Structure formats: C-alpha cells, structure tokens
Amino acid sequence: MNPIRRISAKKYRGMGDVVAALAQPVARGLDRVFGTHLEHCPGCRERQESLNRMLPFLPPAGSQGSDASGAHSP
C-alpha cells in the first residue's frame, strides 16, 4: 500500500473531512496509549459536519451540467 495517497475531491466534501482525516490517526494513537475513546467522539463528528457546511469544496469547473459559458444545462 502506498503511504502517500492522492487526495480525491470526491472523497472530501469540505474542510471538515480533511481535518477529520488528519485527526483520526492521532486520536487512534492517543486511544491506544492512554485508553481514551477519542477516535469515535460524537462532538468531533458534529464539528466535522459544521466545518463541511462552513467551508465546502466546490465541484470542479465544468462538472455537473455546466458548460464553458457558465450556464447550467437543464
């Protein structure tokens, strides 16, 4: 398995998903060392969703029905 994976825009809906992807391994490590339960924290999920709503990733230009003029097709 390649340790450096390519980031896919389809996988991440917004900044919350990126923060969660970075924080999950840290939380998993802390859980193993200290016996905590941070990896599946309900508050973390809520913060992830909030960040996704505040800072969503826009779809790439030209995808999902828009043409070069910027008009949306029916």
pLDDT, tens digit (0-9, with 9 covering 90-100), for 29-44? 999 999 999 888 889 9
Higher-confidence residue: 16 or 9?
16
Per-residue pLDDT at 11: 83
Higher-confidence residue: 44 or 1?
44
What is the per-residue pLDDT across 42-73, written as a single tens digit (0 to 9) for each?
Answer: 899 999 999 999 999 877 666 655 444 455 44
Q: What is the pTM of this model?
A: 0.63
Decide if pLDDT at 8 tops 50: yes
The answer to whether the CB of 44 falls within 8 A of the CB of 20 is: yes
Q: Which residue shows structure tokens 């800072």? A: 55
